[in-house]
Structure 1
Amino acid sequence: MKKLRWQLIIIFLTGLLVGILLLADQPGGPVTSLTPQPARGGVYTEALIGSLQRLNPVLDYANPVDREVNRLIFSGLVRFDARGVPVPDLAETYGIAKDGTVYNFALKPNLRWHDGEPVTADDVVFTIDLIRTGGEWVPEDIRSFWEEIDVIVLSDTDLQFRLPEPFAPFLDYLAFGILPQHILGGKTLEQVVNEPFNLQPVGTGPYRFDQLVVEDGKITGVMLKANELYYEQPPFIEQFIFRYYPDSAAALQAYRNEVVQGIGYVSPDVLPQVLAEPDLAVYSGRQPQLSMVLFNHKDPEVAFFEDKEVRQALLKGTNRQWLVDRLLGSQAIVADGPIMPGTWAYYDNLPHIDFDVEAARAQLKRAGYVEPAEGDPIRQKDGRALSFTLLYPDTELHRQIAEVIQKNWGDLQVDVKLEAVAYDQLVNERLANREFQAALVDLNLTRSPDPDPYPFWDQAQATGGQNYSQWDNRNASEYLEQARVTADLGERARLYRNFQVVFSDETPALTLYYPVYTYAVDRGVQGVQMGPLFDSSDRFATAAKWFMQATVGGQ
């Protein structure tokens, strides 16, 4: 014991001496902690899944891969943060008239295109004119929308938008990338489609086009350089390179071969392998899509869908978590409502409905749908059986989901027949004509940060609109209608909260899940952040702040 104590004394004295020497080496003053500070430099290469078509924001509606590159090259008047709140981008400020029909915008001073030319309000008007005459290249609803808007140039840096009536989601339509009139002016969109500009773009974003990567006569990549004229903090990473691959498996192999440092999209089939890579950081974000089951509230053959007790029982009897875990590889989030979680409009206190077969059976019984007699597998009420047909998109995943739902509801003694339908036919014929009893659908809200549930749930849209369920609830409709014409974000959030409470109580449709987007980047790339997505290109929202090199500074 005495020997042990002597050793401890020696260790203590040695430590004390080292501490004294270290303190003596200090020049005086407080001890400084050293932290890495982002520095400019480095080359980042990412694998994109798909192929290049045109690097032009007016022509990229149908190709997400082009939008991802364009996100770094072009800018819009506004952009949206991870919660879907609009913030100025090229605009310095904007104001909304009290009646909600006039929007005034002022551009940031001294904005420059990548070629050094000034950005003006005329560039914005020119781009909108191309969208209005977009033909097959621009979705019809976008073209029609802009045909109703008057755009007035007030000066080189100021412009005004006049709407025929108040429309609070208007800012959603101003996030498109602006095109340079001094390069493309005087041309129609049909002419622009074949312009060399689409492979040598000039924008205002944090990165500028450098050159194409061509191998064996085929475009295999795009090289971008940091934009020294960028109106915000110039990017830290000096060069951004994109390379194109047919699928995530090929992209992963390119990473293993040290050709790329990031994988633009990690599909579920390669996710386990990606997670096993020690130097790959994996990021996930909720996608702007909601999978759900719609009920036809006005079909007399399935009048039981008008009974919310039946709808709620079917929700309780659906094992949504099993769908997410087993069929979707945990790459989805169970949906508790029709508005995307993580956004300014989402109400966090909505009740979560767990899978509970016994509770579902009890609720059906309370609604008068008694358990069938021996030999009869279907519940009935007043001679009407709980039996209907569920349409689903003709894909393997949707078939599997529909079969699980069929089994879940079969356990409640509800008879469900399945019918596969091509997706275009399902939407444009069966839903549009209200020729369905129940339907498994995916509601795609890509590039729509403003939730605006009005088209899908308002009474006015039950005939001829997108309220395919024909849900008829006056309270819900009033909340949606007021939120559409109210500019104040706080008041709109309150109205949408009330709508979500009504929706949760009434359960007009069954919300199933929101899929998630998975992205992987080498851990050597710092500063990467990814929140909820409104488009896959949103993963580059903070790309100008990413860094690969750092200096050590005191703090």
Structure 2
Amino acid sequence: MTVFRRWVGLLCGLLLFIPSLSQANTHQQPLPELREALVGEIRKLNPLFATNNPVDRDITSLIFEGLTTVNEYGEVVPDLAENWIVSSDGLEYIVRLRRDVLWQDGIPFTAADVAYTFRTVRSALFPGDPNLRDFWRTVEIQVLDEYTVRFRLVQPLASFPEQLRLGIVPVHALEGAPIATLDKHPFNLSPIGTGPYQREALYADNGQIRAVSLRVAPNYRLRPEGQTGFAIGRITFMTYPTAEEAIAAYQRGEVTSVGNLSPLYVDSLRNLGNVNVQTSIAPAVGVLIYNWQDDSLAYFRDQRLRLAFVYAVDRPTIMAGLSSRLVLADSPILPGSWAFNPDARYPSYSMEEAQRLLQLVSFEPPPVQEEPSEGPPAEGETTPTPQVQIRRDFKILVIDDPGIAAVAFEVATQWSQLGFTVTLDMVDYQTLVSRLDSGQFDVALVEYTLAPQADPDQFSLWHESQIEVGQNYGGMKINRISYLLAQARRDHNGLHRKQYYDDFQRTFVGSAPAIVLYNPLFIYVTDPALQGIQLDFISVSSDRFRTIKDWTLAS
């Protein structure tokens, strides 16, 4: 019998005996249990397919492990890897694996599992995230021995160790299954990982999977890091279609916590009583960007004008009105990251200084660049030279979220005091994305999502090569910034990278190619009885479980 047929048989048996929600845990050994509400659906408990579904990603983060993980400072550290070395040219990574790891079914973890995982996602037939596939197709993978793997890149990439966070899957459970249909494999509902928790049961309601329970994995307990802690013996994830229903479930006492909620709900949650609203910085940053490519707004290319706009915005006062959702930010790099530079700060609000700088700015049209002629003009014919009209009226493109639009409105009001006519252009999310991609805006308030990347590499946002292919929507060109980002991206030396990123942040604040306004908050709602939670650096929502070993749940 093939591996695939054995899995089909196991799944058929599993589906026949999935209990309903009302039957959950009625015949199971009592364990301290965390019951957490998640908004969305359980689809595939397989890390190769969980990247675009926050529910699956949260759950699989406890079942599976990558070769690396991220610590409380956003640094990449070994997980299933014991260590790694990098060649002097930055193209080759040799990763040595741990020898004390067992899969949850008792089979030893080896390099064969690593090779299978990454060769699967790089296959042209891989039915998962195409971005994942496209990246790994550029990487060569070679097993050197049972516990050593070599990765070779086509160009240096200092953030490569973070790519190794992808959860490793067991070759002995999946080998022989067609890659093209791996997204339909029974393994996706009966996962076998190496992580601290293993799947215990699925719970169904009217044929729909509504919940999954995990319990501490006995084989993980054999490892040094598993021999103490993990007082939370069982975690049951309950899914709800909306945030409102998840919150209602908390109010009814059905769940102990609610994961990955929007900060929009903070104020109403704090009014519930008997609730802890845990917060950290979400992996996103709100930035005002200019359209550098519009000649009628050519003054945006003048550093003095941009600094005048910085001085004219009272950022602390504006952000204070949304303190339950946002925190004031000065850097495009997240606070708490190892690369964050706390000394790179914008100057204080000063309308007087803004006015002084504005007097130094030219509002003359930029020089006209003549198009090359295909031949001499005919006798008596003249070639008209178009004259660009500089305008002092512009719009701020912003999403139609009342809170974010209020921020944009305050900015517009303050900039108007400098003699500009500034109005809002409020649009829905899809229109915002389309307008940014096509460059159809004057100024835009953009919330860049940095997840799932913990590495501070922001090459795609601000490098001049990313105007057409990345997220440098405004066409910003500052040579120093492009140089620093390129160097930091290539150099795998951590001390060098820190220096580059410190300089990048100082240059960003000093030249003001854009104005960083805020970081949104990450929210985790828990019962006060749940203790030991530490929300440090968050790159993805599942990072809230980083210290789960130390969590306790009082009766």
On whether the aligned pair clears a TM of 0.5, the verdict is: yes
2:327 maps to what in 1?
333
Amino acid at match of 2:190: Q
- C-alpha distance 114-549 of structure 1, shift in aligned 2 (>3 A): farther
Amino acid at match of 1:512: L
Alpha-carbon distance in 1 for matches of 2:198, 2:469: 45
Amino acid at match of 2:309: L
- C-alpha distance 134-293 of structure 1, shift in aligned 2 (>3 A): farther
User: Is the 1:347–1:497 Cα contact (8 Å) retained in structure 2?
Assistant: yes
**Normalising to structure 1: TM-score of the pair?**
0.83
- Residue pairs, 1:31-70, within 5 angstroms: 41-70=31-60
Amino acid at match of 1:283: Q
**Normalising to structure 2: TM-score of the pair?**
0.83
User: Is the 1:130–1:188 Cα contact (8 Å) retained in structure 2?
Assistant: no
1:9 maps to what in 2?
none
Larger Rg: 1
Q: Choose the corresponding residue for 2:503, options 498, 504, 510.
A: 498
2:226 maps to what in 1?
233
Alpha-carbon distance in 2 for matches of 1:510, 1:344: 22
1:306 equivalenced with 2:304 (yes/no): no
Which region of structure 1 is more displaced relative to structure 2, 305-314 or 529-538?
A: 305-314
Which region of structure 1 is more displaced relative to structure 2, 483-492 or 131-140?
A: 131-140
SS at match of 1:159: strand
1:449 equivalenced with 2:442 (yes/no): no
1:344 equivalenced with 2:338 (yes/no): yes
Point out where structure 2 has 5 or more consecutive residues left out of the alignment: 1-29, 365-387
SS at match of 2:395: strand
Alpha-carbon distance in 1 for matches of 2:253, 2:389: 68
1:171 maps to what in 2?
161
Q: Choose the corresponding residue for 1:403, options 403, 409, 429.
A: 409
- Residue 61 of structure 1 deviates from its aligned partner by 2.0
2:513 maps to what in 1?
508
Amino acid at match of 2:289: L
- Residue pairs, 1:53-202, within 5 angstroms: 53-133=43-123, 138-202=128-192
Q: Choose the corresponding residue for 1:282, options 273, 277, 300.
A: 277
Alpha-carbon distance in 2 for matches of 1:339, 1:269: 23
- C-alpha distance 267-445 of structure 1, shift in aligned 2 (>3 A): closer
User: Is the 1:289–1:443 Cα contact (8 Å) retained in structure 2?
Assistant: yes
Q: Choose the corresponding residue for 1:476, options 477, 481, 491.
A: 481
Which region of structure 1 is more displaced relative to structure 2, 223-232 or 260-269?
A: 260-269
SS at match of 1:265: strand
Q: Choose the corresponding residue for 1:386, options 383, 389, 392.
A: 392
Alpha-carbon distance in 1 for matches of 2:498, 2:69: 19
Q: Percent identity?
A: 33
Point out where structure 1 has 5 or more consecutive residues left out of the alignment: 1-39, 371-381, 551-555
Provide the alpha-carbon RMSD of the alignment.
Answer: 2.6
Alpha-carbon distance in 1 for matches of 2:127, 2:280: 28
Which region of structure 1 is more displaced relative to structure 2, 464-473 or 84-93?
A: 464-473
- Residue 457 of structure 1 deviates from its aligned partner by 1.9
1:245 maps to what in 2?
240
- Residue 329 of structure 1 deviates from its aligned partner by 4.8
- Residue 395 of structure 1 deviates from its aligned partner by 4.8
1:545 equivalenced with 2:539 (yes/no): no
Alpha-carbon distance in 1 for matches of 2:188, 2:345: 49
- Measured against aligned partners, the alpha-carbon deviations of 1:407-438 in whole angstroms (never above 9, x if no partner) come to 332233311243345544544x5434434332
Alpha-carbon distance in 2 for matches of 1:272, 1:290: 21
Kindly tell me the number of residue pairs found equivalent between the two proteins. 498
User: Is the 2:266–2:325 Cα contact (8 Å) retained in structure 1?
Assistant: no
1:21 maps to what in 2?
none
Amino acid at match of 2:194: T
1:524 equivalenced with 2:529 (yes/no): yes
SS at match of 1:350: coil
User: Is the 1:294–1:469 Cα contact (8 Å) retained in structure 2?
Assistant: yes
- Measured against aligned partners, the alpha-carbon deviations of 1:369-415 in whole angstroms (never above 9, x if no partner) come to 79xxxxxxxxxxx9844222332335555444433333332233311
